[in-house]
A and B are shown apart, each in its own frame.
Chain A
Amino acid sequence: MNPLSKISAAALTAAALTGCATGLAKNDTAEMSASSTALSANAGETGHIVTIGDVHEYRLDNGLQILIKEDHRAPVVVSQIWYKTGASYESNGTTGVAHVLEHMMFKGTKTLGPNEFSRIIAANGGRENAFTGQDYTAYFQQLEKSRLPISFELEADRMANLNLRAEDFVKEVKVVMEERRMRTDDKPRSLTYEHFAATAFVNSPYHQPIIGWMNDLENMNVDDMRNWYKDWYAPNNATLVVAGDVDAKAVFELAKKTYGKVKARPIPLLKPQTDFEQKGIKRIVVKAPAQVPYMLMGYKVPVVATAKTDWEPYALEMLANVLDAGESSRFAKELVRGQQIATSVGAGYDLYSRLDNLFLFSGTPAKGKTIEELEKAIRTQIQKIKTEQVSQAELDRIKAQVVASKVYEKDSLFYQAMQMGTLATVGLDWQLMDQFVERLRAVTPEQVQAVAKKYLIDDYLTVAVLDPQSTPAPAAANGGHSHAH
């Protein structure tokens, strides 16, 4: 899957769950030549860094990076503030703290009471939410364009003046534990993924789940919140992304007056926590109440931010697309329809993470097939990539999809803002967004083969299998129907 679709998967989930969806079409286009011609220096204006196409980059004196995309199709605006912190910045014992703090950010400041932030946004016709990932924590509002100052004032306020009270924390951490039960504990596949990631990564902080281990949540306290907030919430550790029917210069002026008041602070030095080289295949079984088996396979691979050879992540991306990019790709054609080994099967790779990541496979065997048969079929597909060159027709099809996606994504402001925010926050140049299509187009069949041979090998592999534990027949037997009320 293409990286951008990874982002969009994130966006999609957020959107689907929050009802804030903007359509979130997927991605990217070949419009890069067009946009780079529009490069303007615009020197002389303090704080202005660069303008490329319709995206303007600024920086405030306090270090806040600002990316503004003008899009005048509709009188609306999305504003996202991204902090360079997330689950992968956490230490053992306080996992989940980034996400719990994200919840606490709605609990008031020196001047606003709990939830007042949300009430003000709502009264202004706005939609809002926040999300935490391994590499970022972000907050957003979608508004009619004239309401943008409200977003800036409120976000700048809670960037500096959060009021963390023990009584709010005690309730909110319970909410997060419920969230964990809902998202992970009671979802056999999510649970399997959690164990899988904890096995594949050892020293890398991707070892730990974003939502945190339950035991860490149970022992978290309000001081953990305060420390986290003090460490990471500063303008010099954040990127503001604004997209919509705005004038970039006016937005910058507005940012100066609001975010500009927040003082820069020293940010802790992050330890690298580079995972050591894996020395052989790892296999685990996760037993959970479930009905249908499931498997995950992951190979350690570099990403754009870590790759020593710059085309490799794009070749891995192309590889993921050859196997799984729609109904005409190999997995759908050969494993779901042709051999009918899988009910569903996917390949995925996120090239825009901060640290080395996994090239992932997941699947559910078709009725009458086993997990072993599915794993064998996936391995056969990998072997085929290693021994036979990918056809030009396949590459062309993927390129056509990517080019079209780049046009489609323009239908979603939110998605475009997500892309910029993600790149900036994992330490990459946001302009890579526009280079994606060109980089992917440049990938050759030889390169796809080369990355498969180099990285998709057993020594770098972790396999996790969900072993369904049959559950007693539910339904009326136990609770039965009882009439009440």
Chain B
Amino acid sequence: MPINSKNSKSKNMNNTLFFGLLMSSILFFTALTSTTVSASPEIEHWRTTNGARVYFVPAPELPIVDIRIIFNAGAARDEDMPGLAILTNGLLAEGAGGLSADQLAEQFESIGARFGNSAQRDMAILSLRTLTEKKIFDSAVNTLTTILTQPDFPKAAFERERGRLLTTLKQNKQSPGKLANKTFFNALYTKHPYRNQPTGTETGINELDTAKLKTFYDKYYVGSNAILAIVGDLSRTDAEKLAQTLMAKLPEGEPADNIPPVEALTDGEEIRIDHPSAQTHILVGQPGMKRGDPDYFALYVGNHILGGSGLVARLSNEIREKRGLAYSSYSYFVPMQQNGPFTIGLQTRNESADEALNVLRETIGTFIKEGPTAEELDAAKKNITGGFPLRISSNKKIIDYIGMIGFYQLPMDYLDTFNERVQAVTLDDIKNAFQKRIHLNKMATVMVGGNVNLTEKK
């Protein structure tokens, strides 16, 4: 990607994969272990006059500032128009305060500032990284404020971005992994707002117009529904001024309603989708846990052992090391406002799909029944706590954490107490939490790939 990765600006829409193609091959990938956790930097916290909650960590070492504004305005708020949240977020920089997308981009890039926006299920995000040199900083903040507070939602840009999003949806159908993921969410969240992908559906996108985006923006992009995270070379006074400048023109509004709780699955379901691929992508799982969950640490540490620690996790050992069945096999929780998914996954050549699924199920079943061994728990604790400094070793990582702490309203000492809470987890805690929460006979199983049985019949 170019200096300013198109990705970061492109609302999860289309990235060219350009460099992905040139990329080196790497040894393995670990599961997206839930972005839990941590930083022991001192977090300063206050509210702006219109209700936005601000989280600030001074970082004087580098002359840069990172800013992240998070609204409780993700795709879970799409209601009957899947795609609404991501397009609203995506349109902000497509015209604001009378300036065109070209002009806004030029304002940022002519001073080397990096703007990004994106929307997931819970969060809608705007982010900025800039140098602190006064002229540059003021200009970057000014452009960000314009985008945040005066979006124009131009019709032509909307039509274009809608078209691009529809192409993305089409492209996603090429990917067995993406198809599996979409199907998996549909199965876990049949009637819940987490059901749809943040990229929406064709029907939903086709029903949108700029008035609907504007209504969504007016309702959710308000002070009392916002988190502002700041990390960088600023004094507290400067940070307060910055927060006020950015947020002042937004009305206070109302915080978004609570997302309804997720209903547990009542039955095991298996969905097989035929796809012209060499591999079958397998996803098994159920709704898992939420942020601030009382079982959080037991489930987190337990999952680390089961499938969250790369090559040394049980799943990888059974699937990859012992049998050579897959390049990647993993499990992870995504804690959200309500129970996000617990996902166990792998991808294997079509001929091995049933074998791999059996090993996967057996591995989970044994883990739920017996829990981890004392050695495994000890190793996991050493890994998690010993690696703690790595979690907070850059401004980028720190803003990830304080954004999360702020958005999910986790305790302010979350990072300080993280290691002790990990240390406190016992074998029984893990076993009990998994037995209480995770049910192998009530999981959804999604398999997308070349249907071997069908092929053989031909």
CA distance A126 to B93 in the complex (A): 40
Decide yes or no whether A122 CB sits under 8 A from chain B. yes
One digit per residue, 1 when the CB lies within 8 angstroms of any chain A CB and 0 when it does not, for chain B 23-43 equals 111111111110000000000
A20 CA / B309 CA spacing, docked (Å) = 11
The reply on A74 being an interface residue by CB < 8 A is yes
**Cα–Cα distance between A23 and B64 once the two chains are bound (Å):** 14
Q: A1-B1, A350-B22, A404-B113 in contact; A23/B394 too (CB < 8 A)?
A: yes
Instruction: Give 18 new A-B contacts, CB below 8 A, not counting A1-B19, A185-B279.
Output: A10-B22, A18-B28, A74-B389, A122-B379, A185-B278, A186-B175, A187-B174, A189-B20, A193-B21, A291-B174, A292-B170, A327-B109, A333-B102, A364-B171, A400-B112, A401-B109, A404-B112, A411-B395
In the complex, residue of chain A having the shortest beta-carbon distance to the beta carbon of B441: A485
Q: Which of B272, B278, B384 contacts A479 (CB 8 A)?
A: B272
A–B complex contacts, Cβ < 8 Å, 28 sampled: A18-B29, A27-B3, A74-B389, A74-B394, A102-B27, A125-B383, A133-B23, A144-B390, A175-B327, A178-B348, A181-B277, A186-B175, A188-B174, A320-B2, A325-B109, A327-B93, A328-B102, A343-B14, A343-B168, A346-B2, A348-B2, A364-B14, A366-B167, A401-B109, A413-B393, A479-B271, A479-B451, A485-B268
Closest to A145 in B: B389
Q: Are A404 and B131 in contact (CB under 8 A)?
A: yes
A129 sits at the interface (CB 8 A): yes
| The one of A118, A179, A485 that contacts B327, using a Cβ cutoff of 8 Å | A179
Residue in B26, B113, B387 whose beta carbon sits within 8 Å of that of A14 in the complex:
B26
Does A43 belong to the interface (CB within 8 Å)? no
Q: Min CB distance, B178 to chain A, in Å? A: 11
Residues in B neighbouring A344, C-beta threshold 8 A? 6, 10, 14-16, 164
Closest to A209 in B: B25
Closest to A71 in B: B61
Chain B contacts for A75, CB-based, 8 A: 389
B1 / chain A contacts, CB cutoff of 8 Å: 1, 5, 9, 346, 348
The 3 closest A-B pairs by CB, nearest first: A125-B386, A404-B112, A479-B272
Tell me which of A404, A472, A485 contacts B440 (CB under 8 A): A485
- In the bound complex, residues from chain B placing their C-beta under 8 Å from that of A481 are 269-271
List residues of chain B with CB within 8 A of the CB of A18. Answer: 26, 28-30, 310
Q: Report the bound CA distance from A202 to B443 in whole Å.
A: 51
Minimum distance in angstroms from B346 CB to a CB of chain A:
9
CA distance A133 to B25 in the complex (A): 7
The yes or no answer to B421 lying at the interface (CB within 8 A) is no
Considering the complex, which residues of chain B in the window 252-296 have a beta carbon less than 8 Å from any beta carbon of chain A? 267-279
Inter-subunit contact A179/B112 (CB<8 Å): no
| Contact, CB under 8 Å: B393 / A178 | no
Given A19-B30, A366-B167, A367-B166, does the pair A76, B393 have CB atoms closer than 8 Å? yes
B325 contacts partner chain A, Cβ-Cβ < 8 Å: yes
A165–B276 Cα distance when bound, in Å, is: 35
Instruction: Give A77-131 interface residues, CB cut-off 8 Å to B.
Output: 99, 102-103, 106, 114-115, 118-119, 122-127, 129-131
| Across-interface contacts of B114 in A (CB, < 8 A) | 404, 408
A17 touches B29 (CB 8 A): yes
Contact A17 B110 (CB under 8 A): no
On whether the beta carbons of B20 and A326 are closer than 8 Å, the reply is no
Whether B179 lies near A483 (C-beta < 8 A) is no
- Give Cα A347 to B111, complex, Å: 22
Q: What's the nearest-Cβ distance from chain A to residue B136, in Å?
A: 8
Given contacts A292-B171, A407-B63, whether A186 and B278 have CB atoms under 8 Å apart is yes
Chain A residue nearest in CB terms to B279: A181
Give the distance to chain B from A385, nearest Cβ to Cβ, in Å: 16
* A407 lies within 8 A of B6 (CB): no
Interface flag for A151 (CB, 8 Å): no
Q: Which residues of B contact A468 (CB under 8 A)?
A: 174
- Kindly state whether residue B97 has any CB partner on chain A within 8 Å: no
Judge if A266 is at the interface, Cβ distance under 8 Å. no
* Contact indicator B171/A479 (Cβ below 8 Å): no
Interface assignment of B4: CB less than 8 Å from any CB of chain A = yes
Q: Is A219 an interface residue (CB 8 A)?
A: no
Give every chain B residue within 8 A of A142 (Cβ-Cβ): 390
Interface residues of B (CB under 8 A from A): 1-6, 9-10, 14-33, 61-64, 93, 101-102, 105-106, 108-114, 129-131, 157, 160, 163-164, 166-168, 170-171, 173-176, 179, 267-279, 309-312, 317, 320-328, 347-349, 379, 382-390, 392-397, 440-441, 443, 445, 447-448, 451, 454
CB-CB under 8 A from A482, the residues of chain B are 270, 272
Q: How far is the CA of A102 from the CA of B24 in the complex (A)?
A: 12
- A74 lies within 8 A of B393 (CB): yes
Decide if the interface of chain A is mainly helix, strand, loop or mixed.
Answer: mixed
Tell me which residues across on chain A come within 8 A of B166, comparing CB atoms: 367
Interchain CB contact under 8 A, A401 and B27: no
Contact, CB under 8 Å: B2 / A14: no
Q: Taking the nearest CB of chain A, how far is it from the CB of B334, in angstroms?
A: 13
- Give A336 to B9 CA distance when docked, in angstroms: 13
- Interface flag for A306 (CB, 8 Å): no
Interchain CA distance A484-B171 in the complex, whole Å:
31
Please tell me which one of the listed residues B267, B325, B395, B454 contacts residue A23 in the complex, with CB atoms under 8 A apart: B395
Known interface pairs A13-B20, A404-B111, A485-B440; A182-B4 also in contact (CB < 8 Å): no
Asked if A426 is at the interface of the complex by the 8 Å CB criterion, the answer is no
Q: Which residues of A have CB within 8 Å of B108?
A: 326-328
Which one, B3, B18, B23, B323, contacts A2 given CB within 8 A?
A: B3
Pair A182/B328 contact, Cβ less than 8 Å:
yes
Candidates B93, B110, B167; contact of A343 at CB < 8 Å: B167
Query: Quick check: B3 and A127 within 8 Å, CB to CB?
Result: no
Give A326 to B101 CA distance when docked, in angstroms.
Answer: 12
Determine whether the beta carbon of A182 is less than 8 Å from that of B321: no
Chain A: which residue is nearest B163 at the CB level?
A: A367
Distance between Cα atoms of A26 and B27 in the complex (Å): 23
Given contacts A181-B279, A474-B273, contact A131 B25 (CB under 8 A): yes
In Å, the complex CA distance between A236 and B79 comes to 62
Residue contact B394 to A411, C-beta cutoff 8 Å: yes
Within the complex, the shortest CB–CB distance from A485 to chain B, in Å, comes to: 4
Interface string of A297-319 (1 = CB under 8 A from B): 00000000000000000000000
Q: Are A478 and B451 in contact (CB under 8 A)?
A: yes
C-alpha gap A181/B112 in the complex (Å): 39
Within the assembled complex, what's the spacing in Å between the Cα atoms of A24 and B5?
12
- Residues of chain B contacted by A343 (CB below 8 angstroms): 14, 163-164, 167-168
The interface residues of chain B lying within 8 Å CB-to-CB of A410 are 62
Q: How far is the CB of B369 from chain A (nearest CB, A)?
A: 15
Cα–Cα, bound, A292→B386 (Å)? 46
Tell me whether B270 and A485 are in contact (CB under 8 A). Answer: yes
List the A side residues contacting B24 at CB < 8 Å: 10, 13-14, 131-134, 136, 210
Residues of A within 8 A of B32 (CB): 19
For A411, list chain B residues within 8 Å (CB).
62, 64, 394-396
Query: Separation in Å of the B142 CB from the closest CB of chain A?
Result: 16
| From A76, A181, A363, A407, contact of B390 by CB (8 A) | A76
The reply to whether A178 and B279 form a contact with Cβ atoms under 8 Å apart is yes
Tell me the complex Cα distance, A343–B163, Å.
8
CB distance from A459 to the nearest CB of B (A): 23
- Of B14, B160, B276, B317, which contacts A337 at CB under 8 A? B160
Measured in the bound complex, the distance between the Cα atoms of B6 and A5 in whole Å is: 12
Report the bound CA distance from A363 to B15 in whole Å.
10
| A148 is an interface residue with CB less than 8 A from chain B | no
Q: Looking at the assembled complex, report how far the CB atom of B114 sits from the nearest CB atom of chain A, in whole angstroms.
A: 7
Min distance, Cβ A324 to any Cβ of chain B, angstroms: 5
A290 touches B270 (CB 8 A): no
B176's nearest neighbour on chain A, judged by CB, is A186
B110 to chain A, nearest CB (A): 5
In the bound assembly, the distance between CA atoms of A177 and B272 in angstroms comes to: 23
Given the interface contacts A1-B1, A132-B24, A345-B16, does A332 sit within 8 Å of B105 by beta carbon? yes
Please give me the residue from chain B that is nearest to A402 by CB atom: B3
In the complex, are the beta carbons of A171 and B30 less than 8 A apart? no
CB distance from A132 to the nearest CB of B (A): 5
State which residues 446-485 of A face B: CB under 8 Å. Answer: 468, 471-472, 474-485
Q: Which residues of A contact B445 (CB under 8 A)?
A: 484-485
